Structure 1
Amino acid sequence: MKALDAVTFGESMAMFYAKEVGELHRVNTFQKALAGAESNVAVGLARLGFNVGWMSKVGADSLGTFILEELQKEGVDTEAVLRSNDGSKTGILLKSKVIDGDPDITYYRKGSAASTLNPNDFPLDYFQKAGHLHMTGIPPALSSEMRAFSFRALQAMKEAGKTISFDPNLRLQLWEEEEDMIHTVNQLASQVDWFFPGLAEGQKLTGLQEPEAIADAYLQKGVKFVVIKLGAAGAFFKSAAHQGIVEGFEVDHVVDTVGAGDGFAVGIMSALLDGLSYEESVTRGNAIGALAVMSPGDMDGLPTREELQAFLQQAKRHNRREHVKGDDVHGESSQFNR
């Protein structure tokens, strides 16, 4: 088995997104695509040249085959993915098209194949050939089995001395009780190395309001690096020795905010795996988050190395021109995980 730079796990779904603006029940035309926070991250890392694996369970159906083929086209390793043998199906979501604001999303994932993933399915050897584990707070919300799987993966990778990143990706509609969500997500977050909440998520999870106070709460638990997404203001980061705010990038037109948080995570993780500094990592996170909101699909804006470099160079030239004109530049990047 070849070594992996990173591995992740979760539920991917077949997304049917509206091709016309309007309420979902009035839309007649949809296009099929791949959706799922963790597979978005896997694709983003693969496009940047990393060897990355994605693990899950999909239905023994046409949509399960679609998911596997789409990930394989992107260069994501799917060797450890299971197919259901109990009749459970691949999850589906519908997404509306909007001119402004966030799209309406309807899930059909209860009892899905991925939700049956349990600790007995955990492929220890596969995960331990990866140098890094990325997790989100979505799998533990889907079922008690997937929650147990999440803790099993975290424990195994910690014991193996791997680095672990965590994006809470709070989905209130997936949890039966908010208190359970806060408790479970904090249990996971307190054991990772890199933590990437949005400001509203951090406020919900800690009861604190200011970015630095939220970051301190997790640093005190042993997290090494906390980055808090601030939307148009960029992102606040803090470690034991460094802290600061990195401004976002100017966005010409917001097309779709879904997937921006995943792009942000891709930017930070890829930069850290490349050996860049914390500030440089947050800058890359802001950049990929900005690219994501300017594209229609969850993964369409995730760049290659060449596309990322071109965007950064263009932004640098723009900022230089604005500086010469004496303007006060404030970049904008929609990054909140919804």
Structure 2
Amino acid sequence: MQPATTFEAPAPVLDVLTVGEPMALFMATSPGELHAVSDYRRVAAGAELNVATGLARLGLRTGYITRLGADSFGRFLQGELAREGIDERHVAIDAAHSTGFMMKTRADDGRDPQIEYFRKGSAASHLSIADAPAGGFPARHLHLTGITPALSPATRELAFHLARQARAAGATISFDPNLRPRLWPSREAMVDCINALAALSDLVLPGLSEGELLTGHTTPEAVADFYLSQGARQVVVKLGPEGAFFAEQGGASGIAAGLPVSRVVDTVGAGDGFAVGVVSGLLEGLTLTGAAARGNAIGARVVQFPGDSDGLPTRAELDAAR
């Protein structure tokens, strides 16, 4: 009798998969109000794209689900994805809708810059469950933010579908609330949806002010306890220059101290850099303490550069900073 043949499920193709809206960003090259600036530098932007870029630079196999318009901005972003080595098999070209873009002032003194968005009805806002990977979930980790479900009812449905698909496949999930209140019909709708997605996640990464709005609690310990009680295994609460508070189910909790920065150039993208550090650290086997410390280090590096992703390090740059 021939021995029975056993079949094993194929290993995930990717380390991380994320989903969101990439945009062309026009950054002012000199200080001043947007209406008065004449020269801009064009770069790629979008919270999830920033995270995908940072993870890819560290050598993690990273994929991105999105839709781009069949326009010059879409072609530009395709080129940026290829340049960063981000897997494009789940990137669709939508001939019926345009690619979003945004404009940002230059604020070299560390103040939050002025930003204007041009994204309504964009190709990415028409993402739906049809854009989800067919068959098994192709990565060992899913990264979500609260921006994707805010874009449209269809993107909201996709975010929950991906979370359930990842959980069914045994993949881990990280979730950064990344609140954009102007994209939601009401504060209540935003809080309900964000907290429901957080409850499906293994790792939740709120800022303290976001945590206060979402949970009603005012301390990082209480915010972390709220999400742990909802089902998260790990929570890291961002505290800005002071660092981060971390806690995990039945494990350690404490403060990962922030790193001093001699000059803050641009705060935009710091939270995405923090997510890159924590997610990559955990996927590489660091403790939550070590992952939070890496998040602080990358976040501190990002604020010293003008672009959203300019400061995201390569593996060599990260190693050299230790």
Report the TM-score, using the length of structure 2 for normalisation. 0.94
Find out whether 1:21 has 2:25 as its counterpart. no
2:299 corresponds in structure 1 to 289
1:120 Cα deviation from its structure 2 partner? 2.1
Which amino acid in 1 is paired with 2:237?
A: I
1:85 Cα deviation from its structure 2 partner? 2.9
1:229 corresponds in structure 2 to 238
Find out whether 1:177 has 2:170 as its counterpart. no
1:64-114 Cα shifts (integer Å, max 9, x gaps)? 01111101101110111001032x100010001113310000000010000
Residues 41 and 263, structure 1, Cα contact 8 Å, conserved in 2: yes
SS in 2 for 1:156: helix
Which amino acid in 1 is paired with 2:168?
A: E
SS in 2 for 1:299: coil
SS in 1 for 2:321: helix
Find out whether 1:84 has 2:94 as its counterpart. yes
2:6 corresponds in structure 1 to none
* In 1, Cα distance between equivalents of 2:263 and 2:35: 27
* In 2, Cα distance between equivalents of 1:51 and 1:26: 41
1:335 corresponds in structure 2 to none
Q: CA RMSD in A?
A: 1.2
1:124 Cα deviation from its structure 2 partner? 3.0
Which amino acid in 1 is paired with 2:181?
A: L
Alignment of 1:19-58 (within 5 A): 19-58=29-68
2:3 corresponds in structure 1 to none
Find out whether 1:132 has 2:141 as its counterpart. yes
Alignment of 1:114-129 (within 5 A): 114-125=124-135, 128-129=137-138
Residues 90 and 131, structure 2, Cα contact 8 Å, conserved in 1: no
* In 1, Cα distance between equivalents of 2:224 and 2:30: 41
Which amino acid in 1 is paired with 2:68?
A: V
Q: Residue 161 of structure 2 is aligned with which of 147, 152, 168?
A: 152
2:108 corresponds in structure 1 to 99
1:121 Cα deviation from its structure 2 partner? 2.2
Which amino acid in 1 is paired with 2:95?
A: N
Which amino acid in 2 is paired with 1:111?
A: G
1:189-211 Cα shifts (integer Å, max 9, x gaps)? 01100000000000000001111
Moved over 6 A (4+): none
Q: Residue 244 of structure 1 is aligned with which of 241, 254, 257?
A: 254
Residues 124 and 156, structure 1, Cα contact 8 Å, conserved in 2: no
Which amino acid in 1 is paired with 2:310?
A: D
* In 2, Cα distance between equivalents of 1:98 and 1:89: 29
2:211 corresponds in structure 1 to 202
1:273-307 Cα shifts (integer Å, max 9, x gaps)? 10011100000000000010001101100001221
Paired residues in the alignment total 310
* In 1, Cα distance between equivalents of 2:254 and 2:320: 25
Residues 65 and 131, structure 2, Cα contact 8 Å, conserved in 1: no
Residues 272 and 278, structure 1, Cα contact 8 Å, conserved in 2: yes
1:221 Cα deviation from its structure 2 partner? 1.1
1:222 Cα deviation from its structure 2 partner? 1.0
SS in 2 for 1:266: helix
2:5 corresponds in structure 1 to none
Which amino acid in 2 is paired with 1:261?
A: G
* In 2, Cα distance between equivalents of 1:120 and 1:292: 35
Find out whether 1:189 has 2:193 as its counterpart. no
Which amino acid in 1 is paired with 2:289?
A: E
1:284-336 Cα shifts (integer Å, max 9, x gaps)? 00000001000110110000122112222xxxxxxxxxxxxxxxxxxxxxxxx
1:62 Cα deviation from its structure 2 partner? 1.1
Percent identity, aligned pairs only, is: 51
* In 2, Cα distance between equivalents of 1:219 and 1:236: 13
* In 2, Cα distance between equivalents of 1:290 and 1:93: 24
SS in 2 for 1:257: coil
Which amino acid in 1 is paired with 2:266?
A: D
Which amino acid in 2 is paired with 1:259?
A: G
SS in 2 for 1:83: strand
1:5 corresponds in structure 2 to 15
SS in 2 for 1:103: coil
Which amino acid in 2 is paired with 1:145?
A: A
2:312 corresponds in structure 1 to 302
Q: Which runs of 5+ in 2 are unaligned?
A: 1-9
Which amino acid in 2 is paired with 1:8?
A: T
* In 1, Cα distance between equivalents of 2:241 and 2:56: 27
* In 2, Cα distance between equivalents of 1:122 and 1:274: 26
